[in-house]
Every structure is written in structure tokens, then in C-alpha cells.
């Protein structure tokens, strides 16, 4: 029996069965490539689900983490630590927000954003029956609060009742949002670019009109930038390219480039009229190690010119995917923004993903019929052409 088979068997014996894992045991990575335990090389257009923005094995990032391990890992938030204070400053300056709370994941960031919105509304009128409008086909996480605002009934149906008072509008349909707004609406939450739901960018006019509606009614606009943020769409945060600033935003994934860290941030107005000591907390959130990762990520983004690089190579990825669409009748649509792209097929994509894996190409789905492309943000022209070559071969078989 191969070593990989032994590892997979052990995992299947002891893991809780909540993932349909691919039959691959990954061992190490270098740049935009991953290697399994038997030495097979894979071109990574998956990036740990849009996490590993800097590519695998960035030496300066790794050295920063190693240095912090030998210095201090944890103190709790009853004390200050230098990396966390610096990371908060860097994050707020980069995002244009005023206050930030560091979490351990994107789901936790969504939980904090929900609590912020409800506390903001509670302080206005003392009520506890406020409503949140989310979007159909959205994905915000799997804890109870985040699941409650996730617009896919399949994910929610076995776990009810949810937190309550959640309404779902149609993404990019302003009239559907207007119909749900009432005096109890405290927040509207959406992904700036829907990811899991099929990779659908917000329409600029839709986002601007929702912002206007929120301003008129003193409703908080929460933008989920967990997947589409941190440079992936060609601006540091996707909303910045729309010219629409949220009241609250969430971040994670590439924020730590593999280290578990998330954040929810807000304007000074919201911060001054929402959470206070005792309302929220996290034992591990903002620990020195995670904060060091955040700082190292921002340093590498600046040094490597990541956002500018995304703007340069994203059109090449779009072109490659458009050429594949023109060559294969099974592809019905190409959509996306920056290096968050999708090909929708006229059939389920599970078999395509498996065949691509055999060809040394790692892809992920975004719904049953959609291939999602979220490579490391360091991807180059040659890597895009290699992806196209391998996927063209796979699609030619189907």
C-alpha cells in the first residue's frame, strides 16, 4: 500500500465525515505548484480556496512567522501586543475603515458583523426584533449566525431554527431589496462578488443604489470581502473599485495566507454606537502569531506589487477562459472579476475537476455546474497558458 493510501485510510477512520476530500495527500508547495506525497506536481488554481495569495513557500512570509514563534504566540486580549496593534493600524489604513476586530476565521467575522448591526439598531430604539436582508445564493459561513444569512436553503434546512428575522433578496435586483426594507431593517449584507454561489460580481448601479438606500434609512451596509478581497479582483478590497464604502466589512482567507485569521471592521460612527466591552470577544483572535501573518502579508503585497500584478494578469486569464469557451460547446458562460473567475458548463463539473486533477491541475467548483478559478495572486502568463492547455485537454475528452 502506498503511503498516501495509508494516510487517507487513517483519516477516513478518524475524521468526522463532513468533507468529500479528494484522494490526494499534499506534502509541500513551491510558487504556484503543489506536490503530493508521491512527488506528483499540480498547477494550483485553487489556492486553498482563495487563501494562498502569495503562492507557496514565500520565504520572507515564512521567516516572519518563524521569528514570532520564538518570541510570543499567545497572551489573550487582556493584554496588548505589538503585532496586533500594528496589524490593526495597517488594516484600517488599507481598508479606509476606522476600527477592526481580529477573529480566527471568516465565519467568525460574519458573526461579529451581525452582532454589530443588531447592537447598533438596539441602541437606537431598544428593540430586539430587527431584521437583516441578505442575498439569495450567497455564502457567509457555517456557524449558526453566518448560516442564517447564507442564501442557500440546502445549507440551512437541517439546522433550523436559525437566528431569525433574516430576509433574502435577489442579488443585483434593487426592486427585490426595496420590497423587503421596513422600519425593522438594521442591515443589508452581501458579498461584493458572490463566490460559492457561482461567481457573480455585484452590478455597479445595484451596489450604489443599495448604499443610497442604506444612507436614507440609517441601515448598515455589510460587505463580505472574505473571498473577493485582499487584491483578488484588482483592488485591495473589491468594493474600492465600485466607489461604494460599507459601514461594516469582513475579511479573512488571503488576509493570513494560510494562517487562520479574519477580521470585521467598521466606520467610527458604527464603532461608537455598537459593541462595548463585554459584548464580544475571542480567546485567540488577534494573537501575536496571527497578527504577524497579517503584517507580513501586507508587507509582501507592497513589495511584490500584488494588486498591480493582478490587474496585469487578470485580462490574460479572462482571455484564456474566453478562448476555451469558444472551443468547447459545453461551456455556456464565463464570468468573474480579476482573479476570481468562473466557467459555467452545461453539466456537473465534478468529473472535469477529477480529470483535471489527473492532468496535474487543481480546480474547485462554485455550484454543481461551475468551475471556479482562484489561483495564487502571483500567477504568471506561462501558468495561465499551462492551465489552458491542461483544461483544454480535459474538456476535449468530455
Per-residue pLDDT, 397 = 84
CA distance 73 to 212: 43
Q: Are 53 and 313 in contact (CB under 8 A)?
A: no
Residues 6+ apart with CB under 8 A from 262: 102, 103, 104, 105, 106, 107, 108, 109, 226, 250, 251, 252, 255, 256
Residue boundaries of the structural domains of the chain? 3-57+305-397, 72-304
Q: Which residues of the chain have pLDDT under 70?
A: 1, 398
CATH classification (class only), 72-304:
alpha beta
Per-residue pLDDT, 1 = 65
* Tens digit of each residue's pLDDT (9 = 90 or more) over 369-378: 999 999 999 9
Place of cell 476535449: 396
Decide if domain 3-57+305-397 falls under CATH 3.90.330.10. no
Residues 6+ apart with CB under 8 A from 313: 339, 379, 380, 381, 384
Per-residue pLDDT, 149 = 98
Per-residue pLDDT, 2 = 81
* Tens digit of each residue's pLDDT (9 = 90 or more) over 320-354: 999 999 999 999 999 999 999 999 999 999 999 99
Amino acid at each position: 500500500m502506498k503511503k498516501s493510501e495509508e494516510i487517507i485510510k487513517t483519516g477516513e477512520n478518524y475524521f468526522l465525515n463532513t468533507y468529500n476530500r479528494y484522494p490526494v495527500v499534499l506534502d509541500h508547495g513551491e510558487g504556484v505548484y503543489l506536490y503530493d506525497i508521491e512527488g506528483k506536481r499540480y498547477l494550483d488554481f485553487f489556492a486553498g480556496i482563495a487563501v494562498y495569495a502569495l503562492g507557496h513557500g514565500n520565504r520572507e512570509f515564512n521567516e516572519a512567522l518563524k521569528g514570532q514563534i520564538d518570541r510570543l504566540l499567545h497572551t489573550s486580549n487582556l493584554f496588548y501586543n505589538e503585532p496586533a496593534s500594528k496589524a490593526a493600524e495597517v488594516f484600517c489604513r488599507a481598508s479606509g475603515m476606522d476600527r477592526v476586530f481580529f477573529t480566527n476565521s471568516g465565519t467568525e467575522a460574519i458573526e461579529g458583523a451581525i452582532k454589530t448591526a443588531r447592537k447598533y439598531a438596539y441602541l437606537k430604539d431598544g428593540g430586539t426584533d430587527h431584521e437583516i436582508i441578505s442575498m439569495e445564493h450567497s455564502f457567509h459561513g457555517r456557524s449558526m449566525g453566518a448560516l442564517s444569512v447564507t442564501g442557500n436553503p440546502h445549507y440551512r434546512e437541517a439546522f433550523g431554527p436559525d437566528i431569525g428575522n433574516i430576509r433574502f433578496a435577489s442579488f443585483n435586483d434593487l426592486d427585490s431589496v426595496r420590497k423587503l426594507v421596513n422600519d425593522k431593517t438594521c442591515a443589508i449584507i452581501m458579498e461584493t462578488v458572490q463566490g460559492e454561489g457561482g461567481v457573480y460580481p455585484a452590478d455597479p448601479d445595484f451596489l450604489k443604489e443599495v448604499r443610497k438606500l442604506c444612507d436614507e434609512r440609517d441601515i448598515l451596509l455589510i460587505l463580505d470581502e472574505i473571498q473577493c478581497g485582499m487584491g483578488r479582483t484588482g483592488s485591495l478590497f473589491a468594493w474600492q473599485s465600485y466607489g461604494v464604502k460599507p459601514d461594516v466589512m469582513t475579511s479573512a482567507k488571503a488576509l493570513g495566507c494560510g494562517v487562520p485569521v479574519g477580521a470585521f471592521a467598521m466606520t467610527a460612527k458604527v464603532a461608537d454606537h455598537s459593541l462595548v466591552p463585554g459584548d464580544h470577544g475571542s480567546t485567540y483572535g488577534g494573537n501575536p502569531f496571527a497578527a504577524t501573518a497579517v503584517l507580513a502579508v501586507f508587507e509582501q503585497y507592497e513589495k511584490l506589487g500584488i494588486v498591480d500584478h493582478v490587474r496585469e494578469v487578470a485580462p490574460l486569464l479572462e482571455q484564456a477562459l474566453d478562448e476555451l469557451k469558444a472551443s468547447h460547446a459545453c461551456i455556456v458562460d464565463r464570468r468573474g472579476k480579476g482573479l476570481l473567475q468562473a466557467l459555467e458548463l452545461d453539466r456537473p463539473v465534478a468529473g472535469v475537476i477529477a480529470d483535471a486533477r489527473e492532468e496535474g491541475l487543481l480546480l474547485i467548483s462554485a455550484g454543481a455546474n461551475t468551475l471556479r478559478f482562484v489561483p495564487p495572486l502571483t500567477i504568471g502568463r506561462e501558468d495561465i497558458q499551462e492551465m489552458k492547455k491542461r483544461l483544454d485537454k480535459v474538456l476535449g475528452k468530455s
